[in-house]
Amino acid sequence: MTCSGRTTSLLCGPDGGRGREAEAQASDLRRPWPWPARDRGRPGADGVAGQGGVFQTPSQVAEEHISGNQRIRVGGLVEEGSVQKEAGTQVRFEITDLANRVPVTYSGILPDLFREGQGIVVEGHLQGGVLVADQVLAKHDEKYMPPEVADALKQSGRWQHMKDSMEQAGQMPPGASTAGTSPTKASPTGAAQ
Amino acid sequence: MDDGNEMSEAGPVVRDRPGERWGGRWNVFNRYANPTRFMQLSAKLVPWFAGATVLLMAAGLYFALFASPPDYQQGESVRIMYVHVPAAWMAMFCYTSMAVASAIGLIWRHPVAEMTAKATAPIGACFTFLALVTGSLWGKPMWGTWWVWDARLTSVLVLFFLYLGYMALENAFDDPARGTRAAGILALVGFVNVPIIKFSVDWWNTLHQPASVVRMGGPTIDSSMLIPLLVMAGAFTCYYFWVVLVRVRGEIIASRIRGLRLRQVHG
């Protein structure tokens, strides 16, 4: 894994020495996951996805009018403090790009990596402003360590969990890190074409 | 397969004078082109690899399942990694071995190299299958899906199909020598997939996480987990050498039996 050049991963870490702007540019050059096989060529999905993403940011969802029967995929962070377990496997939470939020309901088994502040992708339909999800995907990063080591890192102040999850999410919603500045960057290799 | 015929015409020129053409530098290389010498050497090596496999596997599984800590995010599910990652490494290592052995077999008509390529294919296919299955079992609880068509998963699935294609092509000819040569060319062409697998997580935005061990800037895996992982990788590697030697020995014995039968029929 290299920390320079076009193939830069946004998971390179804070010592990569690049600002949010550069990261956003890099993210535009990369193909977002999940692989957009199901959405490709389907009318509607491409138009909404825009900006080179097969998932939308909560800001995009807020800006654009999306009809109820349209299937959408939203990427972002699980809002801190928003997760509410309800009856059975029903769970309610909000997904955010730190600028806008979309409420989500999901019924099913959440991935183990699902937690507040974690970058996720949610797929489902909008019903009255609430995203009724039928799939929730969480991404794991390349770090493996025992809980005690993680605790020690947190105590010593070297822990950058939130920053890392944001970078992880920065890899996911292209607009998250540029929200408020210039959310519409040109995407030469965008999957929207 | 016309080009196969051309090459078989060019082959004997080299085979008749092994060592002569390249001098001393290739002596070691040519020595084990001789199946009899290979049988002698491999008979000595097989018990060592078998013993090393048993020891490393026992130690590795003990560390992986009991003596290593759970992960701070994945909990106990991290233990799948101790089988998944070595299996995925071996999937690529076996394909690389198969491609190198095929190249040596195609260029120098090295009979042991041809048999090694042939013997490696099913082992590599098994490792690839193991990596796919364990990855899927890990993906469901962690990611929330058994499968996603991202670059890493898809390229490993292609690797699995390359192994199957190699084996099918290898057995698709009445003349086993032609089958080995045709499959050897497939192995070389398919080798392009190996760097694609390795760098897929850097080149594309995959759901699969980037490399944790073989990466710039050192491993991002705690030593309490890295050591069991490397022990398991050692066990898998020794297992491969053990099984591939046994399989090549079997191939040599089978070809001797074929030769004896032919002599019986014609003699």
B-interface mutation test, from A27, A140, A189, most B Cβ less than 10 A away:
A140
pLDDT at A77: 87
Q: Show Cβ contacts of residue B94 under 8 Å, excluding neighbours closer than 6 positions.
A: B120, B121, B123, B124, B127, B240
In a domain, B193, yes or no: yes
- pTM, 2 dp: 0.74
Query: Does residue B3 carry a pLDDT above 60?
Result: no
Q: What percent of chain B has pLDDT over 90?
A: 64
Nearest in space to A109 (alpha carbons), one of A134, A76, A130: A134
Query: Does residue A29 carry a pLDDT above 50?
Result: no
pLDDT in tens, B235-247: 999 999 999 999 9
In a domain, B85, yes or no: yes
Question: How would DSSP label each residue in B84-139?
Answer: HHHHHHHHHHHHHHHHHHHHHHHHH--HHHHHHHHHHHHHHHHHHHHHHHHHHHHH
pLDDT at A187: 36
Query: Does residue A4 carry a pLDDT above 80?
Result: no
Does the ipTM surpass 0.85? no
pLDDT at B81: 93
Query: Does residue B83 carry a pLDDT above 50?
Result: yes
Domain tally, chain B: 1
- CATH number, domain containing residue B194: 1.20.120
A140:B143 CB<8 A? yes
Say which residue, B55 or B219, is predicted with more confidence.
Answer: B55
In a domain, B88, yes or no: yes
Within 8 A of B206 by CB-CB distance, chain A residues are 33
Lowest mean pLDDT among A54-58, A168-172, B96-100, B198-202: A168-172
pLDDT at A21: 44
* C-alpha separations of A33 from A180, B155, B215, B238 in Å: 24, 15, 21, 36
Query: Does residue B199 carry a pLDDT above 50?
Result: yes
B221:A145 CB<8 A? yes
Sign of the alpha-carbon torsion through B100, B104, B107, B112? negative
Query: Does residue A15 carry a pLDDT above 50?
Result: no
In a domain, B111, yes or no: yes
pLDDT at B31: 63
Residue of chain A nearest B211, judged by CA positions: A142
In a domain, B13, yes or no: no
Amino acid, single-letter form, for residue B221: I
> Could you tell me the domains of chain A?
33-151+162-176 (2.40.50.140)
Domain coverage including residue B195? 55-209+221-266
In a domain, B39, yes or no: no
Q: Is the CB of residue B153 less than 8 Å from the CB of residue B67?
A: no
Query: Does residue B178 carry a pLDDT above 80?
Result: yes
Amino acid, single-letter form, for residue B16: D
- Band of the pLDDT at A180, cuts 50, 70, 90? very low
Residue of chain B nearest A28, judged by CA positions: B205
Q: Show Cβ contacts of residue B5 under 8 Å, excluding neighbours closer than 6 positions.
A: none
Within 8 A of A31 by CB-CB distance, chain B residues are 204-205
